[in-house]
Amino acid sequence: MEYEAPIQNTKYGVCTIDAKQDGKIINADKDFVEITGYTLEELKGKDMNYIKLIVEDERSDIFNYLKSKTTKNGMACLEHFMNCKDGSAVAVSCFTKSLGNGYMDVMLTKNITKVSDKDGSGYDSLTGFCNFNAAEAEISRILMSGVEHCHSVLLFKLRHINRMEEVYGRAFAGVVIENAAIYINHQYCGKGQRVVLGRIRHDTFLVFQCAAEPKTVEGIADWICSEMSKCYYGRDARISGGMTAGICHMPAESSFDEALLCAEKALQYSEQYDELYEVYNENKKYSDIKPVYKNVSGYEDKERVLNYDNRFVSFAVAMLASAKDPDSSLDLLIQRIGLQFGLNRVMINIFENSHYARVTNHYEKGKGIIVEQNLVEDMDDRDGFFQRFDSNGCMKIKDTMLESISERERSYYNKYNMRAVVNFLMYDNDKLIGYVSYSASKAKDEWIQNKLNTLMQISRILSLFITIRLHKEENEQRYESLSIDSLTGLSIYAAFLEAAKKKLYEFDPEKVYACIYADIDNFSYINENFGYEEGNEILKDYALRLQKVRSEGSICCHVHADKFIILSIRNSRKEIEKTVQKVNKEFNAMSRAMYPMSDMRVVTGIYYIDDPGCDIVRAVDHAIHVWKHAKKNKYKTYAIYSDDFANERRTRLKIVGSIHNAIESGEIEAFMQPKFSMKTMKVVGAEALSRWRNPDGTYKYPDQFIPFLEDVGYIIDVDFCIFEQVLRAMSEWKANGKKMIPVSVNFSRQHINHDDFVARIMALTAKYGVEPKYIEIEITESAFMKKPEKMMRFMRELREEGYKIDIDDFGTGYSSLNMLLDVPVDIVKIDKSFIDDYDTQLKREYINQIGNLIQTAKKDIIFEGVETQEQIKFLTDCGYENAQGYVFSKPISMKNFEEKYIYNI
């Protein structure tokens, strides 16, 4: 980093240090040498380093701050005191830039005057206004000197200063406050009026206006507030900025305290109702408030605006270095430059390839910041243009109408009404990156040297920041290329999370945001039957479909395998749902056409993000959950996370989280539903059904908890819990010499995943000494759909051990009747839906057929869900014997069951 000879009173010293070695000084330029008073050799010597240059008490703190901030952000800015060789300590502004690998450049400017005194001279150093105490004292003085006329108390409050601090940093907010003070000052001072100006809170100004017409007072307030609402408040659309006022026209006899309180009430009112200002009206009702006034001098440190000769330069450095959003800060800074130097335009132009310059930041007098991104200028006579810059990288044009420049350049200046212009070149090390233009709308006799010097210094600082911005962009691009999944061209998950966070940070309330999770169901079918290549083609195909419909700002991500996540940003929910539907429909149609046997289809879960503060990982999690839900329904290709779904999910989590505790503490109870012979009307068996006892003695029914437990596999613990209760009861019947009746117990399809299923059943049966022939294992028909071989093996083994196997809900699954010939089953339970309506001849015929078939296959038959005498008659007429249903008995507690059917026989 090379800096030319210092200009007038501001010196820039630059040194390069190695932060890894306590700031060992690698090199320093002659201004740095001059500021410190040491020779270059001494500075580079082994006993010296940057830490030693910092005044003792805060050494390591300051150095660590510089080091960590520079490593993290590429730059840092701080003021500290520096030890000079002659033993003096000077205040310096220090600005660092990372060179990578722990090396950094440190640029110093010597602060000529110290920051204004901190112990509250009565003036706020940021704005130069009185602080509260001083304002109050001054106002009392005026009032004491005799009041004849009516005075007015005005309070001006800036909107959203705290949000600005959060988003753009303190320095930014400080400038907004300072700008407001400039407007206020401008309106009241030097106009022959008697006023007191104060800053009484961080964001609130007090104006005491003597003896003015109420209409005039209000007119000025109106002007200030409406002008302020046009000012620049950063690029974040959520922060509106602006100013609101409360006014109290003070009757001659009232005190200042009273008037101030009334002004506060009016201020609060106008703020609440979003008015420009409100004039206190004693007939109106305002809410009661107790305002707090602070002397705001304590803020100056944080606002980091300094009060010395080269104040503007330091201000620029501080402003940019503490910026959270460089572009917004650059904008604000060039606006300030424009105002301060009476310019009509300030533009930062960045070169793009060899012929173009793009305007990245643009201030125009009267319009403020112009955020028009695509202002690109073709530069035809580039060489000629460069030749007109002097050795300081400065080009002065006193009058663009008269200067001998190309016609294109002239028309360019003309277009923007730039009559007198200075351009400064900007470098990134040795590479030319662009130039800053400052212009006035009137021709000049001469640009004032002092002004030029400051502009030059500011331009250098701007160029450093732009360099950093450019590097940041480059890094981001590099990062982007690494964050793309090579197969699909979509983002990888980690990059998606980062990008999505940013998008949510820029949340636009006009738009609808959705986190969408998509997964291709049965995708493995393709991999297994057609190979991975074909599988990859499918993934690419789907990714392409996503990209085709991708809306502006949306991010698509390929997580892995057949899983995709999208952050969709569109105008309406309807638009999002329509798009999802369209993509899914087309993909699924393709799938059916190309792989008719595969059952492959894409299913999507949609979670709408209403809260921009929402954690993106959570949003993904919600989308996955609702996707799981969608997947269960064969006819749906997407589902939306709704309040109902959220409630269901809460219930689900509660159930899943408390089931083991419930089992332990005996809340899961086996209820028994007897099975009857329709011939003898005697009990021939029973089915154990689970119930979850609530603390108040009521019960939860299986459909309220079993599906959730099936999903996570905890159902198997419930099954064994019920099974054990049944075994315990049976062993007691046996011990009491009672007649044993067979009991069936439901076992979920989930057991298929546990190889010890059979062994566990046998061990428990043995533990209670119950004979397996009294035990029926009920497995639902659909459990034979997936991995039927394994299920069949289990059943075969259990049968060999003497257990009976029931096939439950027969007729609801997809298995053909032929299946019955192969499955190792003893009893077939015909589902309730078969006897619910048997009134047509055809149905009767069908029920008969089934019965015949089952009997041919030598299975026992039982009908479940029998509710009426007619059904009994029908079934007995058809020749069937066994049934279960409400007409005989509902499921009842074990105790009840035993009393009724075991111990009374």
Single-letter code of the amino acid located at 139: I
Contact 107, 13 (CB under 8 A): yes
In terms of C-beta density within 10 A (0-12 exposed, 13-18 middle, 19 or more buried), how is residue 402 classed?
Answer: exposed
Contact 35, 14 (CB under 8 A): no
Place of tokens 């490593």: 71
Which conformational region is residue 130 in: left (phi greater than 0), alpha (psi within -120 to 50 degrees), or beta? beta
* 781 is a site residue for ligand C2E (CB under 6 A): no
Q: How many whole angstroms separate alpha carbon 799 and alpha carbon 598?
A: 34
**Which residues ranging from 714 to 733 are in contact with ligand C2E (CB under 6 A)?**
715, 718-719, 722
Q: How many whole angstroms separate alpha carbon 294 and alpha carbon 198?
A: 11
Question: What is the per-residue DSSP string for 170-215?
Answer: HHHHHHHHHHHHHHHHHHHTTSS--EEEEEEETTEEEEEE-S--HH
In this structure, the dihedral spanned by the alpha carbons of residues 807, 808, 813 and 819, taken in order and rounded to 10 degrees, is 10
**DSSP state at residue 738:** P
- Kindly state the tokens that stand for 587: 């993909």
* 885 is a site residue for ligand C2E (CB under 6 A): yes
From 746, 765, 815, 871, residue interacting with ligand C2E (rule: CB under 6 A): 746
Q: How many whole angstroms separate alpha carbon 521 and alpha carbon 547?
A: 20
Backbone angles phi, psi at 442, to 5 degrees: -115, 150
**Which residues ranging from 326 to 385 are in contact with ligand C2E (CB under 6 A)?**
none
Q: Which of ligand C2E, Ca ion, none binds 567 (CB below 5-8 Å, type-dependent)? A: none
Nearer to ligand C2E, 409 or 806 (CB): 806
Q: How many whole angstroms separate alpha carbon 176 and alpha carbon 228?
A: 10
Collapsing DSSP to helix, strand or coil, 734 comes out as helix
- Kindly state the tokens that stand for 881: 């014997």
From 706, 758, 828, 875, residue interacting with ligand C2E (rule: CB under 6 A): 706
Helix pair angle (643-664, 715-735), 10° resolution: 40
From 18, 227, 325, 867, residue interacting with ligand C2E (rule: CB under 6 A): 867
Q: Which of ligand C2E, Ca ion, none binds 706 (CB below 5-8 Å, type-dependent)? A: ligand C2E
Nearer to ligand C2E, 582 or 873 (CB): 873
Nearer to Ca ion, 133 or 782 (CB): 782
CB of 808 to Ca ion, least distance (A): 4
Residues facing 394 on adjacent strands: 424
Nearer to ligand C2E, 683 or 689 (CB): 689
Nearer to Ca ion, 778 or 898 (CB): 778
CB of 517 to ligand C2E, least distance (A): 29
CA-based Rg of the chain, rounded to a whole angstrom? 41
**Which residues ranging from 404 to 423 are in contact with ligand C2E (CB under 6 A)?**
none
Q: How many whole angstroms separate alpha carbon 209 and alpha carbon 249?
A: 9
* 98 is a site residue for Ca ion (CB under 5 A): no
Q: How many whole angstroms separate alpha carbon 699 and alpha carbon 149?
A: 81
Give just the sign of the alpha carbon dihedral 832, 834, 840, 841. negative
**DSSP state at residue 813:** S
Q: Which of ligand C2E, Ca ion, none binds 719 (CB below 5-8 Å, type-dependent)? A: ligand C2E
* 809 is a site residue for Ca ion (CB under 5 A): yes
* 575 is a site residue for ligand C2E (CB under 6 A): no
CB of 721 to Ca ion, least distance (A): 16
Nearer to ligand C2E, 598 or 690 (CB): 690
- Kindly state the tokens that stand for 495: 């990059």
Contact 554, 576 (CB under 8 A): no
Backbone angles phi, psi at 772, to 5 degrees: -55, -25
* 882 is a site residue for ligand C2E (CB under 6 A): no
CB of 780 to Ca ion, least distance (A): 7
**Size of site (CB under 5 A) for Ca ion:** 4
Nearer to Ca ion, 188 or 810 (CB): 810
Long-range contacts of 526-535 (CB under 8 A, 24+ apart): 526/595, 526/598, 526/600, 529/598, 530/595
- Residue 462 to residues 6, 232, 358, 833, Cα–Cα distance (Å): 17, 19, 16, 79
From 702, 742, 772, 851, residue interacting with ligand C2E (rule: CB under 6 A): 702
Q: How many whole angstroms separate alpha carbon 114 and alpha carbon 254?
A: 42
CB of 625 to ligand C2E, least distance (A): 23
Collapsing DSSP to helix, strand or coil, 72 comes out as helix
Nearer to Ca ion, 43 or 862 (CB): 862
Place of tokens 């005491």: 208
In this structure, the dihedral spanned by the alpha carbons of residues 251, 253, 257 and 262, taken in order and rounded to 10 degrees, is -30
* 519 is a site residue for ligand C2E (CB under 6 A): no
Single-letter code of the amino acid located at 479: Y
Q: Which of ligand C2E, Ca ion, none binds 702 (CB below 5-8 Å, type-dependent)? A: ligand C2E
* 278 is a site residue for Ca ion (CB under 5 A): no
Contact window for ligand C2E (CB under 6 A) among 403-411, 526-534, 791-799, 878-886? 878-886
Nearer to ligand C2E, 338 or 702 (CB): 702
Q: How many whole angstroms separate alpha carbon 518 and alpha carbon 606?
A: 9
Nearer to ligand C2E, 359 or 883 (CB): 883
Nearer to ligand C2E, 111 or 746 (CB): 746
Q: Which of ligand C2E, Ca ion, none binds 13 (CB below 5-8 Å, type-dependent)? A: none
* 598 is a site residue for ligand C2E (CB under 6 A): no
Q: Which residues fall within 8 angstroms of residue 800, CB to CB, at 6 or more apart?
A: none
Nearer to Ca ion, 74 or 742 (CB): 742
**Which residues ranging from 760 to 789 are in contact with Ca ion (CB under 5 A)?**
778
* 886 is a site residue for ligand C2E (CB under 6 A): yes
* 685 is a site residue for ligand C2E (CB under 6 A): no
* 13 is a site residue for ligand C2E (CB under 6 A): no
Q: Which of ligand C2E, Ca ion, none binds 701 (CB below 5-8 Å, type-dependent)? A: ligand C2E
Tell me which residue of 723, 705, 699 sits closest to 657, measured CA to CA. 705
Length of the chain: 905
* 805 is a site residue for ligand C2E (CB under 6 A): no
Nearer to ligand C2E, 198 or 865 (CB): 865
* 79 is a site residue for ligand C2E (CB under 6 A): no
* 833 is a site residue for ligand C2E (CB under 6 A): no
Q: How many whole angstroms separate alpha carbon 177 and alpha carbon 185?
A: 12
Nearer to ligand C2E, 134 or 722 (CB): 722
Contact 243, 180 (CB under 8 A): yes
Residues facing 668 on adjacent strands: 692
Q: Which of Ca ion, ligand C2E, none binds 488 (CB below 5-8 Å, type-dependent)? A: none
Q: Which of ligand C2E, Ca ion, none binds 245 (CB below 5-8 Å, type-dependent)? A: none
**Size of site (CB under 6 A) for ligand C2E:** 24
**Which residues ranging from 452 to 511 are in contact with ligand C2E (CB under 6 A)?**
none
Nearer to ligand C2E, 86 or 703 (CB): 703
Nearer to Ca ion, 90 or 819 (CB): 819
Q: Which of Ca ion, ligand C2E, none binds 722 (CB below 5-8 Å, type-dependent)? A: ligand C2E
* 485 is a site residue for Ca ion (CB under 5 A): no
* 808 is a site residue for ligand C2E (CB under 6 A): yes
From 587, 667, 865, 882, residue interacting with ligand C2E (rule: CB under 6 A): 865
Q: Which of ligand C2E, Ca ion, none binds 569 (CB below 5-8 Å, type-dependent)? A: none
**DSSP state at residue 901:** I
Contact window for ligand C2E (CB under 6 A) among 201-209, 262-270, 624-632, 882-890? 882-890
Point out which residues bind Ca ion (CB under 5 A): 746, 778, 808-809
Point out which residues bind ligand C2E (CB under 6 A): 673, 689-690, 701-703, 706, 715, 718-719, 722, 746-748, 808-809, 864-867, 884-886, 891
